[in-house]
Amino acid sequence: MTGTDLHPTPVLSEAMDRLCHPSADEVESLDAWWRANNYLTVGQIYLMANPLLREPLTAAHIKPRLLGHWGTSPGLSFVYAHASRLIRHTNQEMLYLAGPGHGGPALVAAGYLEAAYTETYPGVTLDEPGIRRLFRQFSAPGGIPSHVSVTTPGSIHEGGELGYVLVHAFGAVMDNPDLIALAVVGDGEAETAPLEGPGKVSRSSTPSATARCYRSCTSTAPRSPVRRSSDARILPRCGRCCRATAIRSSR
Ligand SMILES: Cc1ncc(C[n+]2csc(CCOP(=O)(O)OP(=O)(O)O)c2C)c(N)n1
């Protein structure tokens, strides 16, 4: 679908206008959320004491064994922050899929900032002792894994093995065409075999006239446009093999 196919309604144009022109307050709070998330991520990786840096930092405050690295996390939390803004403005249903291998603490930090973490684990309180506990439990015996896992509130997949981010993303949108699956692919993850198959799906699921039919036929004939309605979700079809049978989602 191209931009010109969208035919924005007045409601949609108003929402797009708000999204494209954030107020100064909005930019400030987005930035503050992002920086808070980044701090909580760094703290999980490095700090075992002095969580709010009330004292000058010394080696005694640093964990003796570090796991992972910081590099991937600001990108993940940046995307998360802006996706949250989109949801707040539009009520868009979204699924966030974090592929990079060391992004776990960024997603745990997001859950903590949203208070979902404390709701699930009341011992990890929204204060200084709670932040200390959040930091100490990360990748520690008796604590939580370094990746997004079953212990992460809202998670639907045990991480730790790279390669499944696009499998989940495509599976989710094929079941629910109104969903946005926001998949972040790690560059290391991109070298795994499981990512190769779903990576190719993107060629056939792009609703353009030249893309291949959704079905397994090899026709490159122009397809009818994507039609969406709540009672019949009809996927793109090529007009040859799929002329008679619309492919309906199972839900
Ligand atoms: C299938 C598989 N192979 C190897 C690993 C070991 N491993 C954990 S993280 C990582 C690096 C992943 O790189 P990237 O996806 O770029 O994530 P980033 O390091 O940027 O967070 C590797 C190789 C793994 N977890 N799963």
pLDDT in tens, the chain (251 residues): 444 455 667 777 888 888 999 999 999 999 999 999 999 999 999 999 999 999 999 999 999 999 889 999 999 999 999 999 999 999 999 999 999 999 999 999 999 999 999 999 999 999 999 999 999 999 999 999 999 999 999 998 889 899 999 999 999 998 898 999 999 999 999 999 999 888 777 666 555 433 344 444 444 544 444 444 443 444 444 444 443 333 333 33
Asked whether 105 lines ligand 1 (CB < 6 A), one says no
CA–CA distance, 151 with 40 (Å, rounded to integer): 17
Asked whether 145 lines ligand 1 (CB < 6 A), one says no
Terminal-to-terminal C-alpha distance of the chain: 23
Which H helix or E strand runs over 113?
Answer: helix 104-113
Q: What is the 121 CA–ligand 1 centroid distance (Å)?
A: 28
- Per the CB < 8 A criterion, the answer to whether 186 and 194 are in contact is no
Beta strands 180-184; 94-98: pairing state: parallel
- Per the CB < 8 A criterion, the answer to whether 92 and 70 are in contact is no
- Per the CB < 8 A criterion, the answer to whether 163 and 192 are in contact is yes
The atom number, within ligand 1, closest to the CA of 161 reads 26
For residue 122, give both structure tokens: 């009341």
The atom number, within ligand 1, closest to the CA of 103 reads 21
In the chain, where does the domain assigned CATH 3.40.50.970 lie? 23-47+54-205
Q: What is the 73 CA–ligand 1 centroid distance (Å)?
A: 13
Asked whether 194 lines ligand 1 (CB < 6 A), one says no
CA–CA distance, 131 with 80 (Å, rounded to integer): 20
Please state the pTM of the whole predicted model: 0.79
DSSP reduced 3-state for 64: coil
Closest by alpha carbon to 145, among 157, 130, 128, 163?
157
Q: What is the dihedral of CA 84, 90, 91, 97, to 10 degrees?
A: -40
- CATH topology for 23-47+54-205 is Rossmann fold (3.40.50)
